[in-house]
Structure 1
Amino acid sequence: MGIHLDFGISPKTFRQTYLYQKPKLFKGAVRNLEAASCKYINEIYQRADPTAPLFHLRKKGAIVPKEEYVESFDDLGKTRYRFIKSVIYEHMKNGASLVYNHINNEPFSDHIARQVARFAGAHTIVSGYLAFGSDESYKNHWDARDMYAVQLFGKKRWQLTAPDFPMPLYMQQTKDTDISIPEHIDMDIILEAGDVLYIPRGWWHRPIPLGCETFHFAVGTFPPNGYNYLEWLMKKFPTIESLRHSFSDWEQDRTRINDTAAQIAAMIADPVNYEAFSEDFLGKERTDTAFHLEQFANPNATPLSDDVRLRLNANNLDTLEKGYLIGNGMKISVDELGKKVLEHIGKNEPLLLKNLLVNFNQAKHEEVRKLIYQLIELDFLEIL
């Protein structure tokens, strides 16, 4: 059983009131905290690649050298790597945090990240942070992405301060700027098991362990921004003749430069370009789902049970109004029946197939079943 998040407000209200503007504490947003098991967390860490740079121990704000807790060994002629668990245990007893960034293809964390993605309408990356002591693993810093801290075990203190460098991009890290760490605190929150904290990008945050067990997933969201748009438009710039000329000197070149600037400005403000960029950005997102080989690879499989639970495998449904859906590199046309099916699942997911069918005339049931089957095959829907 996966974790179920209930944010308590609609995505529309959240986007109007909080998104990119100010932090929001969703108290008790995890509705089935009993589904959070140490077994799942242990398995996620166990399956991690020991050599991955995104997996590390942090102690007092510094990274513990990998060679201290990872060993290589010969396994029938192939070099493999394993965690030296006794060393990890000892470091964590003495205050270290175990950090696993960019967790991928783990059902337990994927289920949580997918719910955040649908709520925020953006692609996500999830990381895990486990500690048992009181040492801070990170100093006060900002992130170049919005972040949702999903607290599953124990508690952690978060001190937040409003941005003094608004909307930083990925290359604008705290450590790379001349901005001083703020001395004042705007929000001081104790995040308890079951809580979710939204922190907009650019907000200073200082996560402080409280000397007890604490584990949270940090789900970062990555919507498109103006910098992404300009990067995408760069591919069109060579079509501008004035841009292709060689430079001589300012007096001779400024007319062409002004012409180039005008044409680039027109490209930026062109809604056709904006729409094409948005589609391209969505098309590059990928979200994993579980295999169901016995059902979809077997030519002799029985029809889908009406008791299967369905969930959308697409972060953004806004394009349905335009008659299509984009996900996992594909763009499919959607008719009125498909639009109604997808919108109903999106509003009520996870949804049993039989509970979907009751919203349609009996004569449409087989058509709906066939559509559901095709959407699962194409990875636009998943079975839970």
Structure 2
Amino acid sequence: MHSPRRFDLEEILFPLNLNDFFENYYLKKSVLVKSTDQMKFVELFSFKELNQVLNNNIDNFPTLKLVKEAKPLFFDSPDSVIEHVKNGASLIIDQLQEYSETVRELCSSVSKRLSEPTQVNLYLSQPDIKAFDLHYDTHDVLILQIAGKKHWRVYDATIDNPVFFMKEHGIFPDGGQAYIDMDIEAGDVLYIPRGHWHEALATDGLSVHLTLGILSRTGIDFLDFLKEELISDSKWRENFLQIEKHDNTHKTHLEKLKKSLIEFINKDDILEKYIIKSTVLGKRANPYNFPFQIIDNNQIEYNSLRYSVYDGLNFFMKEVDGALLLYASKKVIKLSVNAKKIIEVIFQLQDFALADLEEAIKKYQTNINRRNLELLIMTLMKNNILYIK
């Protein structure tokens, strides 16, 4: 049986070396990666999958949009969608990972590699009609050309590290010169950092591309984390401004909050807490894993099954008061400290049978209790860390 191809960051950027990408381009400047294989992404997404997504969501499709020359278009039926696209509208599906398993796996893989959230939007465009005018995004993007050809121009940023909710935004200067001015074809990938101006136009026939957005966390996100943490401190819930007072009350209160904030940020575990919350507890695997969440441990034939870690799942472990705490899938799971090496091996293997796990563990310990392994596997399945292949 043919297993679907899985795409990761290294594969989609090939032949560009991943180290070269991080050292010379990531967060710095755009790069166009030309491919010799126009069928490179055929197993990632195709017209067949596009039609399945559209046909399976006819009555409820909140992320489907039509845009023509920077203007949104109204539609109320599949016939009106088809007519608009026929007349030059671009069809856009935001959050495509919610509808496609292969795209969801790509998002998970890239998110795990970069430790950043990701999302994918799809664009189907007719030739010679723009969807959007010249603009920049407030997140990095990877453009994966699925079919057809599109001409892209990319320009330098005019504002550093833009985020969405800003009082002022960058202004494109007169006479700006594109530093990328090229066609991208099926199989090609274009990376554009946030803030870099760009525009695109399909040229020969229909163009389909996926935009993988990298939603990098910033200091603003860290402030949001601090807000969530500090809300449990009564000092931060006190009334701040009492307008009728004309003494030093406001200044005294501000100094008290400043002192509290500095003390909180200086805590030894503050960075660890933020990392756990944002990269481990921020992502949850599929919540349902029947029948394993509701049956007795003794009802499972562990030997006959194959197990997988949910795609893109990050984890963090620490020992506290003689127990091992495993942070993953928006949960904190309390385990025996003896499970630490086994958990590490499971995440290294990603996909395994019980015999594979036993063999891998032998490198670190010779005394392996089969029943304890089975109980650990069941615990991980009930908590959405593992699933049955």
TM-score of the two chains, using structure 1 as the length reference: 0.76
Q: What is the DSSP-based 3-state SS (H/G/I as helix, E as strand, rest coil) of the residue aligned with 2:205? A: strand
* CA–CA separation in structure 1 for the residues paired with 2:8 and 2:241: 57
Q: What is the DSSP-based 3-state SS (H/G/I as helix, E as strand, rest coil) of the residue aligned with 1:364? A: coil
Aligned AA (1:364): I
Does residue 158 (structure 1) correspond to residue 152 (structure 2)? The answer is yes
Match of 1:330 in 2: 331
* CA–CA separation in structure 2 for the residues paired with 1:307 and 1:31: 34
The more displaced of 339-348 and 197-206 is: 339-348
Deviation at 1:226, TM superposition (A): 1.2
Contact preservation (8 Å) 2:154, 2:181:
yes
Deviation at 1:54, TM superposition (A): 3.0
Match of 1:376 in 2: 381
The more displaced of 188-197 and 211-220 is: 188-197
Aligned AA (1:331): V
Contact preservation (8 Å) 1:312, 1:346:
no
* 1:225-244 aligned within 5 A: 225-235=218-228, 236=230, 238-239=234-235, 244=240
Contact preservation (8 Å) 2:7, 2:106:
yes
Match of 2:30 in 1: 23
Contact preservation (8 Å) 2:32, 2:191:
yes
Deviation at 1:369, TM superposition (A): 4.8
Q: What is the DSSP-based 3-state SS (H/G/I as helix, E as strand, rest coil) of the residue aligned with 1:162? A: strand
Equivalent of 1:206 in 185, 194, 199: 199
Deviation at 1:305, TM superposition (A): 6.0
Offset from partner CA, 1:96-144 (integer Å, 9 cap, x none) = 2111112325323212211211221122222222224332212222222
Q: What is the DSSP-based 3-state SS (H/G/I as helix, E as strand, rest coil) of the residue aligned with 2:120? A: strand
Offset from partner CA, 1:150-171 (integer Å, 9 cap, x none) = 3333333332223222222232
* CA–CA separation in structure 1 for the residues paired with 2:67 and 2:237: 53
Cα distance 1:256–1:336, how it changes in 2: closer, same or farther (>3 A)?
closer
Q: What is the DSSP-based 3-state SS (H/G/I as helix, E as strand, rest coil) of the residue aligned with 2:138? A: coil
Contact preservation (8 Å) 2:159, 2:170:
no
Equivalent of 1:119 in 86, 94, 113: 113
Deviation at 1:350, TM superposition (A): 5.3
Deviation at 1:218, TM superposition (A): 2.1
Match of 1:133 in 2: 127
* CA–CA separation in structure 2 for the residues paired with 1:257 and 1:328: 38
Unaligned runs of 5+ in 1: 71-83
Q: What is the DSSP-based 3-state SS (H/G/I as helix, E as strand, rest coil) of the residue aligned with 1:135? A: coil
Q: What is the DSSP-based 3-state SS (H/G/I as helix, E as strand, rest coil) of the residue aligned with 1:285? A: coil
Aligned AA (2:114): A
Cα distance 1:94–1:43, how it changes in 2: closer, same or farther (>3 A)?
same
* CA–CA separation in structure 1 for the residues paired with 2:387 and 2:17: 23
Contact preservation (8 Å) 2:136, 2:197:
yes
Q: What is the DSSP-based 3-state SS (H/G/I as helix, E as strand, rest coil) of the residue aligned with 2:361? A: coil
* CA–CA separation in structure 2 for the residues paired with 1:127 and 1:45: 14
Deviation at 1:43, TM superposition (A): 1.3
Aligned AA (2:376): L
Equivalent of 1:146 in 140, 149, 155: 140
* 1:39-188 aligned within 5 A: 39-48=48-57, 52-65=61-74, 69-70=75-76, 84-103=77-96, 104=98, 106-172=100-166, 177=169, 179-180=171-172, 183-188=176-181
Aligned AA (1:55): L
Contact preservation (8 Å) 1:243, 1:256:
no
* CA–CA separation in structure 1 for the residues paired with 2:341 and 2:31: 32
* CA–CA separation in structure 2 for the residues paired with 1:352 and 1:10: 33
* CA–CA separation in structure 1 for the residues paired with 2:302 and 2:99: 25
Equivalent of 1:310 in 308, 311, 315: 308
Contact preservation (8 Å) 2:132, 2:199:
yes
Deviation at 1:379, TM superposition (A): 1.2
Q: What is the DSSP-based 3-state SS (H/G/I as helix, E as strand, rest coil) of the residue aligned with 2:6? A: coil
Aligned-pair identity (%): 20
Cα distance 1:370–1:202, how it changes in 2: closer, same or farther (>3 A)?
farther
CA RMSD of aligned residues (A): 3.9
Deviation at 1:348, TM superposition (A): 5.7
Contact preservation (8 Å) 2:6, 2:102:
no
Count residues in correspondence. 365
The more displaced of 266-275 and 244-253 is: 244-253
Contact preservation (8 Å) 1:150, 1:197:
yes
Aligned AA (2:108): R
* CA–CA separation in structure 1 for the residues paired with 2:34 and 2:326: 33
* CA–CA separation in structure 2 for the residues paired with 1:122 and 1:314: 11
Contact preservation (8 Å) 2:127, 2:201:
no
* CA–CA separation in structure 2 for the residues paired with 1:215 and 1:51: 23
Cα distance 1:298–1:371, how it changes in 2: closer, same or farther (>3 A)?
closer
Contact preservation (8 Å) 1:148, 1:199:
yes
Contact preservation (8 Å) 1:148, 1:218:
yes
